[in-house]
A and B are shown apart, each in its own frame.
Chain A
Amino acid sequence: MSGGIFGVALRRIGVSLPLIFLVSVLVFVVLRLIPSDPIAMSVPPNATRDEIEALRKEMGLTLPIYEQFGIWFGKVISGEFGRSIAFAQPVARLIGQSLPATIELVLLAAIFATIIGLSGGLLMYRLSGGRGEAATDFASTLIMSIPEFLWAIFFILLFGVALNILPFTGRLDANITVDKITGFLLIDTLIQGRFGAFGNALAHMLLPAMALAFGTAPLLMRVLRSSLMEVGNEDYMTMARLRGFPERQILVRHAFKNAFLPTLNLMGVQFSFLFGGTLLVEVIYSYPGLGSLMVQAVANTDLPVIQGVSLVYAVAVLLINLGVDLVALILNPKLRIAK
Chain B
Amino acid sequence: MAREAAARQMLFALRREVARIEGTLAERLALPPAVAGGGSLIRHSGIVHDVSPDFIPTGVPRLDERLNGGLPGAALTEIHGAGMRAIGAVTGFVLALASLALQRNASGGPLFWIGTEDGFHEGGIPYAPALLKDYGIAPERFILSRTRKIEDALWVAGETAKLKAVSVLVIEIRGNPARVDLTATRRLQRRAAHTGRPVFLVRQSAEAEPTAAPVRLLLASAPAGLRRTISGPLAGSIGPPAFQVRIDKNRNGLPGQFLLEWNPQTHSFHERPEGHAAENNGIVVSPSRHGPDHAPAAGALMAFGETEDGSPRGEPAGEQYTAHRGARRAG
- Are A and B subunits of one complex? no
